[in-house]
Amino acid sequence: MNLLSEHGCFGGVQGFHAHDSVVVGLPMRFSLFLPPQARAGRVPLLVYLAGLTCTEETFPMKAGAQRLASELGLALLAPDTSPRGAKLPGEADSWDFGVGAGFWLDATQEPWSRHWRMASWLLDELLPHVTRGFDLDGDRVGIFGHSMGGHGALTLALRHPGRFRSVSAFAPIAAPMRCPWGVKAFSGYLGEDRGQWRAHDASELMRAQTEAPFPDGILIDQGLADKFLAEQLHPEAFEAACEAVGQPLTLRRHAGYDHGYYFIASFVDDHLRHHARALER
């Protein structure tokens, strides 16, 4: 791992790093905030997955999470959202995206399957490297995210029982099989067999549970002024799935808030406290 820059922040250290990923086959970047408590012992880790058009810099620069993370003793990891430099058509797509964005899964279809292995990169390579390399508590890890990253947080937490103690999301793509973003991405990465898509749809994954996977609750915040809410996000589908299996869910709908980081900054403290309660045990 290569240190790109390092900055004192609320008594801790905000770092930006890169490494040559064996899993992805390309250089990958991430940011890591270490609270002051990390100098005295192992602290829990909270992973944040950002959305489309974001990088590893977006969350630490815009969300304002370090102040409370420093008080709570939480390390904050924010990986980059997609492979960079593969030079494939659509790799740097915009908000009309589908393929090109990482989507926090492992692609099975060419030409994406060689490098677009974001789930394996995070779970099998980055998390072990970071917890060992920075002496963090790998048994106390939570995950949250925004939009595409909210989709990733929910699906990875549900697909890998026991890997994450807590989960939350801001405006997640909660039912990607039902929205244009998800259909385009899944068609490109996973092919046309919709049976394969269900394993990466948070609402479908939740509905398939036999008992509540997170009995202490899941927290989701959604802005009602979000222009993507009706067509792309479908939080009501995830809400119904949680109700069907008895999963405690706090889904808060906020008038006047859109899809951006002013919304995230307004409620990020609640998410940090949600995770801290689960990770302190």
Residues designated catalytic: 147, 226, 259
Scanning the structure block, which residue is given the tokens 């699906």? 155
Please choose, from the candidates 160, 163, 149, 219, the residue with its C-alpha nearest in 3D space to the C-alpha of residue 45. Answer: 163
Residues 6 or more apart whose Cβ sits within 8 Å of residue 92? 100
Please compute, for residue 88, the number of CA atoms within 13 A of its CA located in the half-sphere on the CB side: 19
Q: How far apart are CA 222 and CA 254, in angstroms?
A: 6
